[in-house]
Structure 1
């Protein structure tokens, strides 16, 4: 994977990066199997909390959610008339990845008529071992197109082990679920004066360090799901 290092910025001034007037549209693209809701939190409240979290970072415009789940019990029909939350049943991880990626591109294309940059909040993990459909590379491309990429990382992944493109806003999953503030990314990437704050994926693998996309999304959660088993059956 080629990491984008040409647009490095100091994240000490990150909150100046978002302008409510200029960056009003936000699309949220959520793999519900990769990141499951904690016990007691429903979808409707989660949507409100996400809107609160991104609003607190300066993006106060319209927010649209696109969610993908393999669940048979989720009430997809409840949201048929919703203009802000669009769920779909997609069984396998590979299929969810393609649907999410296609939906993201389509959403950005349709919103071009409104001008300005768009925010995309990606709540999904990369495809392990699938170099040709790597979510990280896809997000790199979105950044090249001058869009703002926001992401969520699992608990237990330190900023130094992020493998997402920059500039970026990122939340720990539990923080986003509660509508809390984003992660302080000042140590996530090196600045032009200090290139010691980030290690390469190759170095991390050699040292046995898990990067964000390789970390279990449901660490510490009683709702941990057997996703690998489910995917192997589809």
Structure 2
């Protein structure tokens, strides 16, 4: 696999300050300077931006380092840190990321997969390896720094002719900003532009990607479900292509049926499945450079878990998606209560049994169907839902 290195591009440093703490506050300036120095020694000449991820009692005080304080475990920090990298990948164009993290084998975190996906999409990802951490868990193609406080370099050489050019990158950033303004729903509201008819038309014909937790919402007949979910989307006015990613537990085997545009993903725990869903959603962004409108249907329970140890920030990330060129659709349990749903999301929602039966969305969804559906037929019992 080709490793892309952009010497004139910006480098985003994402730092887990719990696993990589500084011994005293006075080291922060030295650390900040050494990161810049180490990058320059490797040939990186672009701007360097820092973001630190800590807990409520641990943060850094520096004018140029933004600290995000999170409650919970290493899983929570890594989940937010990696999703931040995926989010920045759309904003920054081709560029460099430095990850200062432990936990290559952290349960339910797809660190290696995410880095490889970024590299395949043309991004350069640098890793900082702790001096006491075994390096055999790290794939050999990853760059390494042993200790930035001692200003050691990775020994990686910068191939000539791969910097992309400052002028080209500046143009790409400007073009991306203009496209984002044109696509961003929130910006359109602020500018009072009446693009509602265009947006609705785009969402109607756009592709719908379904993220389905098979453990939360099991079915007995996956072939019928595959057909019925497409009927339900059509009833709500969404007529674009449909692809489905189904997440199941490690103790189960995927169904034997081979279905077009249907992918099965094995992820053991609930938090692992939610993390994987968010990763897959964000991996759409580097591939969607033209900001093509896309519908994202999410079929999962407990989007706002009470246990902070497992909090993935799921609702926050869905809200972020819904403010850009992605339109979020939801399936909710049959006993749902609207007042308990994320109030600041706009969504079209189905009851699970209605979705399974190819039915219509809820009348009290915050966003009505783009095209008013005909009067619904008499209620149908879902024969494939598992109670």
- Tell me if TM exceeds 0.5: yes
Q: Give the C-alpha shift of residue 169 in structure 1.
A: 0.4
CA distance in 2, matches of 1:223, 1:78: 19
Aligned equivalent of 1:148, options 327, 336, 343 = 327
Matches of residues 57-72 of structure 1 in structure 2 within 5 Å?
57-70=236-249, 72=251
Q: Give the C-alpha shift of residue 72 in structure 1.
A: 3.8
Aligned equivalent of 2:209, options 27, 33, 37 = 27
Partner in structure 2 of residue 133 of structure 1:
312
CA distance in 2, matches of 1:59, 1:21: 7
Higher RCO (C-alpha under 8 Å, 6+ residues apart): 1
CA-based RMSD of the aligned residues comes to 3.1
Q: Give the C-alpha shift of residue 118 in structure 1.
A: 0.8
CA distance in 2, matches of 1:76, 1:20: 33
CA distance in 2, matches of 1:143, 1:69: 25
Q: Give the C-alpha shift of residue 56 in structure 1.
A: 1.5
Partner in structure 2 of residue 176 of structure 1:
355
> Deviation per CA, 1:117-144, whole angstroms, max 9, x where unpaired?
1100000121512375122111111112
CA distance in 2, matches of 1:50, 1:171: 10
CA distance in 2, matches of 1:110, 1:164: 30
Partner in structure 2 of residue 122 of structure 1:
298
| TM-score normalised to structure 2 length | 0.40
Give 5+ residue unaligned stretches, structure 1: 1-5, 8-13, 190-220, 225-234
Counterparts in 2 of 1:127 and 1:69: CA distance versus 1, 3 Å: farther
Matches of residues 44-123 of structure 1 in structure 2 within 5 Å?
44-70=223-249, 72-76=251-255, 78-79=257-258, 82-113=259-290, 115-123=291-299
Counterparts in 2 of 1:133 and 1:164: CA distance versus 1, 3 Å: farther
CA distance in 2, matches of 1:154, 1:20: 28
Contact in 1 for aligned 2:204/2:237 (Cα 8 Å): no
Matches of residues 209-220 of structure 1 in structure 2 within 5 Å?
none
Q: Give the C-alpha shift of residue 47 in structure 1.
A: 1.2
Contact in 1 for aligned 2:254/2:264 (Cα 8 Å): no
CA distance in 2, matches of 1:164, 1:32: 25
Contact in 1 for aligned 2:351/2:361 (Cα 8 Å): yes
CA distance in 2, matches of 1:21, 1:169: 12
CA distance in 2, matches of 1:166, 1:152: 14
Counterparts in 2 of 1:164 and 1:111: CA distance versus 1, 3 Å: farther
Q: Give the C-alpha shift of residue 112 in structure 1.
A: 4.5
SS in 2 for 1:133: coil
CA distance in 2, matches of 1:176, 1:16: 27
SS in 2 for 1:75: coil
Aligned length: 175
